[in-house]
Each structure stands twice: as structure tokens, then as C-alpha cells.
Structure 1
């Protein structure tokens, strides 16, 4: 037995030495290249342009305020991005965590190229973890004299990207989760949406319920400055230094998009764009719904380097907002792993503050480890008096009829990240209530002082949510019960996660035991 232990110990030591050698050699062979670029800064529109005059005239009527329009519908969110790109005369800046190689992703890339062709400078900052299949197109677009594409915290080995984690996990585990588009320094869209069909309510894949907001006025220069901060940061690498350059003009974007434009999906979606109420309102400049005090909150790109001082993290500001409510807080978050925030929420309920949270149910959650991380906090939250709701999956995606109010139409999964406080303050952004958003990924969003928008969110929780989500409560034995509303007199009770199997629930339990909470 002693010999066996010694043999196993020797093998273990040898394996660890070989693994260490592998990591050291791989990090030397596949290290990031030295930065070769110049800093670049935002360009504002000429004040004599028609669009600039229109927006500036509105802003002058509302000094120190920002005009906003929430974009709840995926279709409206797509239309507004197209509109801004087509309106651009000087500059377009966009940063996204995910940009898909699909109809809407390629459509927007083509719109950006068209803008560059007419003389608009285009800067794209894309997290390198979410651009699968786009290397060739990115390389070709980046050769345009007015297009500058940078990849955030990139992977050196381009094929089989996941292998990079085996030698560079701690760097690559930090991602840029920001979502923003700024046009001519005049208008911006920020919120929770990435770029892809499922975010814009088209295609066969399950759709996301999400939320963005269009802003003009006081806050827009801050959003533009924040883009500059990330675009000129240490981990924003020029695409040509990471992706092998495509030789010649092969029109890869046109080759990829042309077949999609022959599809029924394209023709149906294009007609929906033409017929939408937003498209009808655009010629009359009916874009802004209200003027409010709006402030940007954002992580600093230093967070991606592992620096987590309070002045670097936006979660510090969010916590200060969530510690202050006097009457009610309603939170919408797709991925919810409260961890230490359980105490914050419990303190609120102990003070008599009504706390309600909407997140994904097991059947709607597309990241099972995150749901496992959340599941173990449900009972403590309910015991503390927090009201929990879990969104049901709408399987009839193609009908897309169920109204989710401030989040648009129902899909298969929740992706909006917002909260309302005391009928006054509203946050809309990219921040999930989980350790990854708090400590690993960079995030951004806006805080809006708008009683009408806040009341809309509170009203939705009060009047509509019971039809669209399971309501969780504890039974007399202290076990969790899921209630599915049927009518005012009757609800169906579930004593396990609805539409889950015994094997799936066992996996949730096992994953919940793993020491991975900080990665979720």
C-alpha cells in the first residue's frame, strides 16, 4: 500500500510538472503581441448639419437633461440602430459583447460599411469571445480606410478558441460585457442587447426579452467618452494584429449576406421593419418620449486587468443606489446569483421595503450553472421576505403575442437588466446580479430619474407579472412552491422546478456544490 501511495504521488508530481511546463511554453508561444496603434477619439457632428441642429434645438429646450426612449421591442431596437447608422454623417462608435454571424448581425455590418463608404468614420470594439465565424469579414472590413476594428481581450489561437483558456485562463476570464452605439456624438443606444437575431425577435432560435434605451442630450458625451476609454485601453487590440489579414477584396460580407436576403426570414422581417409604428414615427421625428436626468455608470477597463478597487467598479455605485430605497425595489435580471447581496436585500425587507425580483425559471435559463448558483439562495431570500418570480418559457415564439410591457414581447428567455426604485429611479444596462458582472466582466448602464418609467415597471410587477411568471413561496413545511396562475380563483402548484427532470435537478444540486460561484 505504501509503495502504491508513493507511486501515485510520483505520477501526480510528474503530471503537475508537465502541466506547468505546458502552460509556461504555451504562454511564451501564444502571448499577445505588443500594441501597435495610436489613440483615437470621438468625433462630434458639425453643428450646422440638419440632424445636429434638430437634436441641439431640443437639448437647448431641456438644459442639463437627456432625452430618452426605451426600446422594449426587439424589432424597434433593430430599427433604431439602422436609423442611427443611416443618419450618421461623421462618426459611428459601437462596442458589443456578442456580434453574431446571422441575418441581423450581417445586415448591421453592411449598414456600417455603407456608412463608411459615404465618408463616416466607423469604430468597432468587439469582445473577442462573441464574434464566432466573423474573422474573415472583420479582417476585410478593417481594411477600409474609415473603419477601425479592435478586439477586446483577444484570443491568440483563432481556431478552437477554448484551448486558449488552458494557458491563459485568468486573463481571458475577464470579458467586456458593455453594449453601446454612439452616432455623431449626438445620440446613443445603451442597454442589455447584443447584436444577433435572437435579440431582435427574428429567426428560429429562442428569442430574448430585452431592454435598451435611446439617449440624446446631456449624457451622450459621457457615453462617447466612456467608449474612448475602452477603445484606447490596454486590452483593445487592433484586429489586424490578431486576425490573419484577408488578401484581396473577396466581398466576404456580401457573400455571407446575399443568401440570407433570399430567405423568407429576411422578407418577413424587412416587411415588419417597414410596417412598424416606429418606422412610421421616424419621419416626424417622434423619437424621444421624455426628458430626464440621466447619468452613466460604468466599470473602468482596468477591471479586466484584475484591478478591483471601489473607484474602478460600477457595482459600488449600484449598491449605494440599492441601499437607499424607502418603499419599493423591483429588479429584473436574467442571471441572478445574489451571494452577499442576500444580506442587502434582507436588510431592505427588514426596513419595510417591498423587494420583488424577476429572473429566469429553470426552463427559461440558458446558462444552467448560473441557475444552479441561484437555486441555493431562493429559500433564504423567501425567508427574508423577498418576492421571487421566475419567467415562464413562451414556446409559441413565432406568434410573439404576449405583451411583457416595458420588456416588449415574450420570448423563450429573459435578458433584460433593469431595476426601479421608489417610483423614481430606473437603471437600464448590461449588469447582471451575479459575481461575474460584479467582479470579472466590465459593465455599463444608465440611471434615469423618470417617475413615469419607474411607475411602469412597478405597475408591471403589480398587475401583469403573475400571468407571465411563476410566483415562488414557502409552504408550511418551509419548502419552495411554484405557483402558476390560471385564473383569479386557481393556480397550479409545483413542488419542483417546473418542467425539469429528476436528472436535471440532481445536476443542479451537484453543480451548486462546486466552488465556482465567483465564476458565475
Structure 2
């Protein structure tokens, strides 16, 4: 009898433990759901996290802990934001007379240029400049020779901030050049994202051994999937305060199409000379301060007044998880809204926000020629299928969509009419707009816009149009997969 009673007591004990665990799990889910609601998130994103918590409780807790908590963002970036404000205030005070005079001149010269008048944002994340020279660089075949030549010509300092640096043909040549410049006494400051640069291998150690200041952005100790948010997706180079590079091309040999890889990579970058380089320098300084807790002076030769003259208006747009507003998305929206005739967009990860989706549909319905080039085959199964789910309403509005078939199109560009060009690191998704550090350039120049239009025309030769009638007849299995992947877009 005692054995039976003991057995029953043990069974009851296990039942009580299970009930207690279930109650605890329910309380945690209710508490987290309330927290998500109180954060006043985007309703779609909030519902997505709550559904994951309800239907896949344990996995949902893990997903929310590592990907969904704004607390991690606040803890990591609130202090960075406040320090950035201090640095920016110092820069603004030193440059105020020049900047204010330049803005007066820009407004006077803008005249009836609707797109220019609309884009004078004048915020910490978007400062317009006038005296610039901008060169369009197509693929690694054009970017890397231009970059390496500029690096070899450096006289005082080299600043680099990159999402991806790989120890391959490109990364190794870069390392050799930087070591050579270090041995000549040139200052080298080098930032790389600790997740994006997973193939960087021994490059940081080599550069440090030769005197470079090298820092990973947001270093991680565990797997990618646990640290996917809040990465530094920028690609910035500043040389001697005179020359800057920005765009979508990482430091990786895949972009050279050298025959070692099966996929052809199509991308776009910029070489900039002029006053806009100061803004690239300022953005690098704020990232460098965050990673190293060090600064360099707001003085020559780091910050220079350009000797160039002209009307190549250039607006360097920076955004990140520490930004008060999603400036990159807002800049794209403003550009779309001021288009008078045509909008051309190329992007590899097209998961637009509702604001962007509506803006593109309205532009097409208003009779503007809206054209999109997207990859025929992406490098992410979920992202690719999620992107496909957006095509039907775009096609219904009269937007022309083309699939690039030569390889993988990684360019993040936009051309408005024949006046405004956009080249950046910014993807059309929540991650770029809200979670990652991004950088781009808006160029108000007919010549640059014409060259980017020519590149777009060349890409169309390697693309196939998406026919609305045929697209709407795709089989149910494909459409179902697109719809399922789209449910995950608020979390991507």
C-alpha cells in the first residue's frame, strides 16, 4: 500500500510540475504579448510576433528574445545616439557658417527644381552639399581598380567601414595595399561588421600588427541567427578627406566576376570627390567612435573645403537603429513622390513597407512609368518568395517588373526622371529601414542620372518582363509558398 501511495504521490508531483510549467509559460507569453503591444510597434509586426509566441511557444520565445526585443536595441544604441549627437553638434558648430550659406545658395539655385526643393532635409542623417564630382562604378570590375588606385595614392589617412570583407583575391590585395601604406606612415582606421565579414580570417590581425586601428562592429560570440539584428551594412571609404566611395559592393571577389564563382554578380558603386566627402567622413567618425571610443579631429586634413566648383548636388543619407526616423525609407519615399514622369528601381531584396508599396502604386496609377528590376533567382529562399508575393498588386497598378536573368543583381539604385539618382547599401525591407546601419547618396545631376539610366537599359537586355496575366495563373503551390514566406516578412 505504501508503495502504491508513494507511486501515486510521485505521479501527482509530476502532474503538478507540468501544470506549473504550462501556467508559467502562459504567463510569460501573456506578459511578452502585453510588452509588444505597449511598445506601439507596427501592428503587422506586433501581430506576427504574438502569433509566433502563441502557436510555437518555445521557439517563439527564442525568436523574440534574439530578434524581437527593442530592449537590446535601446541598450546597445541609445548611448551611441547621444554620443553621435555630441559629435554632430561639434561638427555643425564648426561648419555652421559655411553650411548655412551653402543652403541659401542651394535654395536660390534650385528655382523650380521640384525634386531638389523637396529633398532639403538638413538633418543629422541627411546633409546636402553642392561642389561635388561623382563617378558611377559598375560591378567590381570598375570599383576595385578605382579603389585600389585611390588607396595607393593616399598621403595622410585611409578610413574604411564595411559590412563584408573577405580574405580572397580582393581582400588580400586590399590588405597588401593597406600594409604598404601603413609602412609609409599613413593612418589606417578599419571597421568591419563581425557577422557580415565571416570570411575575413587573418586580415584584422595583419593590419593591427602593422599599426592600423581595426575594430569589429558589434562583435558576437555565438551564431549569426542569434545576432542577426543591428548590423553595420554600410560600405564607406574616405581617403585623405578628398575622395570617398559608397554604394552596394562589398570587399569580396564575387563582385569581380573573375570566373571562380558560378554566379554573375551585378552591382553599382560611386566614387565621390567634393564637399560630400566630409559627410561620409562624419558618418565614419561616429561609427569609429562607437566601436573604438576614440575620435579624430574636426580639422584638416580630415575635413576639407572642396576646391571643386559646380552644381552636382549630393545628399549623403545615413540611417540606423539609433536614428530618430527611418531616414533612408523617407528619402526613397520623397524621391518617388516628386517624380513627374518615370521611376526606375533596382533592388535585390524587395519586401516593401506599406508606405512604399502605396507610393509606387499611386505613382503608376497617376500615369508615371514605374519600372522595377528584381533578381530572377535570389540568394535567400524565404526572402525571394516573400518578395514574389508583392508582385500581383504592383502589376495590377500598371508597374512594369523585370526579372534579371544573367546572374544575381545586387544593385540598390533608383533613377527619378532624368534628374535624380540614388545609389546605396539600402535594401527595400524592414531590416535596412529599421535595423541595420545603412548609407546612400542622392545625386541631383543629369549626367549621373543619364549614366545610371544607361546602366538600367543594359540590365533590361538581360531581363525578362513579368506578364500580369501569366503571373496571375501561377500554380497554387507556388502562390501558397509566397504567401507563407510573406507572413515572415515583419520578422525579416
The answer to whether residue 224 in structure 2 is matched with residue 162 in structure 1 is yes
The structural deviation recorded for 1:201 is 2.3
- CA-to-aligned-CA distance 1:211-258 (integer Å, 9 cap, x gap): 11111112111111111111112xx2589xxxxxxxxxxxxxxxxxxx
Q: How many residues align?
A: 378
CA distance in 1 between counterparts of 2:478 and 2:187 reads 49
Paired residue for 1:376? 389
Unaligned residue ranges in structure 2 (runs of 5+) = 1-11, 29-57, 88-128, 295-307
The answer to whether residue 362 in structure 2 is matched with residue 388 in structure 1 is no
Paired residue for 1:52? none
Q: 1:518 to 1:141 in 2, by over 3 A?
A: same
Among 259, 267, 270, the residue aligned to 1:210: 267
- CA-to-aligned-CA distance 1:134-153 (integer Å, 9 cap, x gap): 354313422433x1011111
CA distance in 1 between counterparts of 2:150 and 2:391 reads 42
CA distance in 2 between counterparts of 1:133 and 1:13 reads 45
CA distance in 2 between counterparts of 1:460 and 1:142 reads 39
SS in 2 for 1:323: helix
Among 272, 287, 292, the residue aligned to 2:312: 292
Map 1:71-470; keep pairs closer than 5 Å: 71-134=137-200, 136-145=202-211, 147-157=212-222, 161-162=223-224, 165=226, 169=227, 172-205=228-261, 206-233=263-290, 236-237=291-292, 292-299=312-319, 303-304=320-321, 307=322, 309-310=324-325, 313-340=327-354, 341-361=356-376, 364-392=377-405, 394=406, 412-458=407-453, 461=456, 464-470=458-464
CA distance in 2 between counterparts of 1:194 and 1:424 reads 27
CA distance in 2 between counterparts of 1:414 and 1:426 reads 18
**Contact residue 95 and residue 178 of structure 1 kept, 8 A:** yes
Whose helix proportion is higher, 1 or 2? 2
TM-score (norm 2): 0.68
The answer to whether residue 434 in structure 2 is matched with residue 480 in structure 1 is no
**Contact residue 100 and residue 130 of structure 1 kept, 8 A:** no
Q: 1:390 to 1:123 in 2, by over 3 A?
A: same
Paired residue for 1:511? 485
CA distance in 1 between counterparts of 2:188 and 2:205 reads 14
Unaligned residue ranges in structure 1 (runs of 5+) = 42-62, 240-287, 395-411, 482-494
CA distance in 2 between counterparts of 1:88 and 1:229 reads 22
SS in 1 for 2:370: strand
- CA-to-aligned-CA distance 1:157-194 (integer Å, 9 cap, x gap): 5xxx337x1xxx5xx51111110111000101111100
CA distance in 2 between counterparts of 1:109 and 1:9 reads 59
TM-score (norm 1): 0.65
The answer to whether residue 445 in structure 2 is matched with residue 471 in structure 1 is no
SS in 2 for 1:337: coil
